[in-house]
């Protein structure tokens, strides 16, 4: 990031910390582009996850930015941490799945599978803890997003993101017979 852009984003951040939504939108837009460039060569199939998790982390860490300092080290520290975290999660998941592969159900259609509670439970078990908790609270316990946010300590936006990602992964798992 060049000095001019850094100064520009630092000024916008200072305004965002004061509640300026337009400035905040500009910062987040720029961060999304920068993080996308950072993540693409390292985790090409998880760029969206890295970008969105970074945006949420930046939202929670907004008060920690000091506008008298450069913006890039603060932003990239968060982005790199999210990137490493997501890479580790994926490695862990792949290792777990390699150790205990769930056999596909060859003679059933997707509709049959979806109607089977145990099948859905197995698919749920492949989600991250956060995604599973959020989906269970939303769909099984029929709690509102605000309630879940209060119970988990996540923001409402983070709850929605976790649910969205969980649904996406569930769809993929159910379509592939869970052995994703």
Partner 1 sequence: MTDDELVHALVGDLAPVRRLRGATVRAAAWAALATGYVALGTCVLGPRPDLARVLRVPAYLAEAGALIAVAAAAAIAAFQRAVPGAERPLARGLACGALIAWIGAVALRWSGMQWAPGWTCVARLIALGGAPAIASIVMIRRAAPLERAWTTGLAILAAAALAMLGTQAVCARDAADHVLVWHVVPVVIAVAIAVTGTSRSAPCRATTRG
DSSP string covering 25-72, please? HHHHHHHHHHHHHHHTTT-GGGHHHHHHHHHHHHHHTGGG--TTS-HH
Q: Which is nearer to partner 1, 30 or 120 (CB)?
A: 30
* Binding residue count for partner 1, defined by CB under 8 A: 41
- Give yes or no for residue 171 binding partner 1 (CB under 8 A): no
Q: Which is nearer to partner 1, 81 or 95 (CB)?
A: 81
Please report how close the Cβ of residue 173 comes to partner 1 at its closest, in angstroms: 19
Instruction: Tell me which stretch binds partner 1 (CB under 8 A): 1-9, 71-79, 118-126, 171-179.
Output: 71-79
Tokens 């932003």 label which residue? 75
Phi, psi torsion values for 91, nearest 5 degrees: -60, -45
- Give yes or no for residue 81 binding partner 1 (CB under 8 A): yes
- Give yes or no for residue 128 binding partner 1 (CB under 8 A): no
- Give yes or no for residue 46 binding partner 1 (CB under 8 A): no
CA distance 13 to 150: 27
Q: Which is nearer to partner 1, 91 or 179 (CB)?
A: 91
- Give yes or no for residue 37 binding partner 1 (CB under 8 A): no
CA distance 83 to 104: 31
């Amino acid at each position: 990031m060049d000095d001019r852009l850094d100064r520009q984003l630092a000024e916008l951040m200072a305004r965002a910390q004061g509640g300026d939504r337009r400035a905040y939108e500009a910062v987040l837009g720029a961060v999304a582009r920068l993080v996308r460039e950072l993540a693409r060569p390292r985790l090409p199939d998880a760029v969206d996850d890295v970008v969105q998790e970074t945006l949420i982390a930046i939202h929670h860490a907004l008060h920690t930015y000091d506008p008298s300092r450069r913006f890039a080290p603060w932003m990239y520290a968060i982005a790199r941490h999210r990137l490493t975290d997501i890479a580790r999660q994926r490695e862990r998941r792949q290792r777990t799945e390699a150790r205990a592969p769930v056999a596909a159900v060859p003679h059933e259609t997707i509709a049959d599978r979806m109607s089977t509670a145990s099948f859905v439970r197995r698919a749920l078990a492949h989600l991250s803890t956060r995604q599973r908790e959020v989906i269970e609270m939303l769909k099984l316990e029929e709690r509102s997003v605000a309630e879940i946010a209060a119970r988990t300590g996540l923001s409402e936006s983070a709850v929605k993101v976790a649910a969205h990602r969980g649904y996406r992964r569930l769809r993929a798992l159910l379509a592939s017979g869970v052995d994703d």
